[in-house]
Amino acid sequence: MEKWVSYAVISMLFAGLTSVIAKFGLKNVSGDTGLAVRTIVVFILIWANALFFQDVRQFRNLDKSAVLFLAVSGITTSLSWIFYYRAIKVGPVSQVALIDKGSIVIALLLSVWILKEPLSIKTVAGAILIVAGLLVIAWK
């Protein structure tokens, strides 16, 4: 198995745990308050990882363009998290998480259009199945 696949699977496992654990933490607080606490922990862990387990000299490789794109990515991540936490506060995690994973289709389309990544039949079939699943969840 390629290294990136292993990382993606590990990410998937932790992401699945994240939503369920967060729902317990939101019992007596708003989604925004819960997200603020979570983000403080994320901030500390990410900086610890960057400082202690990565090559700190990598920061020298950042140019203005990279910082701009990473900052915009930070803004979109923040907005995604804000609305995700609001959704899991009031809705069923199982359905919110499925709808949220519709972002896979958006990422797929943008990666083909903007990044010029190749599109395979398997990828298209997977995207169609994801959209079908989203329709099933949204259908009343």
Question: What pTM, to 2 d.p., does this model score?
Answer: 0.84
The label of the residue with tokens 């599109």 reads 119
- Structural domains counted in the chain: 2
Same domain, residue pair 10 and 54: yes
- CA distances, 81 to each of 2, 70, 74, 126 (Å): 29, 16, 10, 25
Residue 96: inside a domain: no
55-88 pLDDT tens trace: 888 899 999 999 999 999 999 999 999 999 999 9
Please compute the mean of the pLDDT values over residues 89-111 and round it to a whole number.
Answer: 90
Q: What is the pLDDT of residue 41?
A: 97
12-71 pLDDT tens trace: 899 989 999 999 999 999 999 999 999 999 999 999 999 998 888 889 999 999 999 999
Same domain, residue pair 12 and 81: yes
Residue 11: inside a domain: yes
Same domain, residue pair 86 and 121: no
